[in-house]
Amino acid sequence: MPSSLRILVTGGAGFIGSHLCERLLDAGHEVLCVDNFYTGRRMNVAHLMDDPRFELMRHDVTFPLYVEVDQVFNLACPASPVHYQTDPVQTLKTSVHGAINMLGLAKRKRAKILQASTSEVYGDPEVHPQPEGYWGNVNPIGTRACYDEGKRAAETLFFDYNRQYGVRVKVARIFNTYGPRMHPDDGRVVSNFVCQALRGQDITVYGDGLQTRSFCYVDDLVDGLLGLMDTDDTVVGPLNLGNPGEYTMLQLAEAVIRLTGSRSRLVHKPLPADDPRQRQPDITRARDLLGWEPRVALDEGLRKTIDYFRGVVD
């Protein structure tokens, strides 16, 4: 395999995608970043623009894309509930039509392709922690379904393109990931709590705050994505990638207040529909197959995230 590859990153101007583009360039590859800027921003990749091996293209993956690449990381899809529910039909089209187009491209080029799937395929899980063998508990007609079912259908397409056409696929199920370059208005819990704390605003805890999530720092997650892409063609996944450290939203709020030194108070807001009660990855498979596990503890990752947001919030 040539040491320098041409790699397509869809959703590359988003939060995770921008970190991935940076790491791929650092490893000596050429990167084509494709994004329609629905939630992504040019400023996330502005520091890469002077690199002649980096190219940024505005394109919506629901339309065909004919480019010559060796690998595809398919990350294009809004990931925050407030954003993916703003235009649910477009969200579903992005997951399904986007997967079909990128799989068609990978088939034509015999390129390896990795799908950024999600822990949301487990829905509101009745098995805890969640192993990859669990089929999930998803409401197919609820307000989260455009995202959850879109990602589930994309997984089906990836496995069918693999079985039917021999496309070299990899499916990563990403659990809640946070870090620098999240949009201040992203709406997900870490960026909300950190921005609220830094601005001295009330911290908005939805419901009783006893629901849990497991938070993975972005550098660890990108290590996992790169490790999965580097496996041989027999490894298709799905593979859970996340940090097993599990916290209630009240614990997260307490940590953010402690680390920012904020005087913000907690206020409770209604719990959104179908909000999963608990979530924690079983990462046995990723440990065994990739020798991967997260290294950044929540406090350390939150400190880095807080430092970033200090520079961007008013």
# residues near ligand NAD by CB under 6 A: 28
- Considering the rule CB under 6 A, would residue 39 count as an interface residue with ligand NAD? yes
- Considering the rule CB under 6 A, would residue 64 count as an interface residue with ligand NAD? no
- Considering the rule CB under 6 A, would residue 249 count as an interface residue with ligand NAD? no
Beta bridge partners of 34: 10, 57
In the DSSP assignment, the letter for residue 281 is B
Rounded Cα distance between 274 and 84, Å, is 14
Provide, rounded to whole angstroms, the least separation between the CB of residue 233 and ligand UDP.
Answer: 19
Rounded Cα distance between 96 and 150, Å, is 6
Provide, rounded to whole angstroms, the least separation between the CB of residue 66 and ligand UDP.
Answer: 5
Rounded Cα distance between 58 and 35, Å, is 5
Rounded Cα distance between 247 and 178, Å, is 14
Of 36 and 162, which has the nearer Cβ to ligand NAD?
Answer: 36
Degrees, nearest 5: CA angle 217-273-96: 65
Rounded Cα distance between 298 and 300, Å, is 6
Rounded Cα distance between 29 and 21, Å, is 9
Partner whose binding site includes residue 36, from ligand NAD, ligand UDP, none (CB under 5 to 8 Å by kind): ligand NAD
Partner whose binding site includes residue 108, from ligand NAD, ligand UDP, none (CB under 5 to 8 Å by kind): ligand UDP
From the list 38, 84, 122, 147, the catalytic residue is: 147
Contacting range for ligand NAD; rule: CB under 6 A; set: 33-41, 127-135, 226-234, 296-304: 33-41
Residues engaged in binding ligand UDP (CB under 6 A): 64-66, 80-81, 100-101, 104-105, 107-108, 176, 188-189, 192, 204-206, 211, 213, 249, 271-272, 275
Of 271 and 312, which has the nearer Cβ to ligand UDP?
Answer: 271
Partner whose binding site includes residue 263, from ligand NAD, ligand UDP, none (CB under 5 to 8 Å by kind): none
Rounded Cα distance between 240 and 43, Å, is 29
Of 13 and 171, which has the nearer Cβ to ligand NAD?
Answer: 13
The count of other CB atoms within 10 Å of the CB of residue 50 is 7
Catalytic annotation on 147?
Answer: yes
With beta carbons less than 8 A apart as the criterion, state whether 113 and 74 touch: yes
Rounded Cα distance between 249 and 189, Å, is 8
The tokens of 119 are what?
């822990």
Contacting range for ligand NAD; rule: CB under 6 A; set: 136-144, 171-179, 204-212, 246-254: 171-179
- Considering the rule CB under 6 A, would residue 46 count as an interface residue with ligand NAD? no
In the DSSP assignment, the letter for residue 130 is B
Residue from 85, 118, 162, 264 touching ligand NAD (CB under 6 A): that is 118
Provide, rounded to whole angstroms, the least separation between the CB of residue 15 and ligand NAD.
Answer: 4
Amino acid symbol at 73: F
- Considering the rule CB under 6 A, would residue 116 count as an interface residue with ligand NAD? yes
Q: Which are the contacts of 27, defined by CB distance < 8 A and separation ≥ 6?
A: 226
Residue positions annotated with a catalytic role: 147
- Binding-site ranges for ligand NAD (CB under 6 A): 10-11, 13-17, 35-40, 60-62, 75-79, 94, 98, 116, 118, 174, 176-177
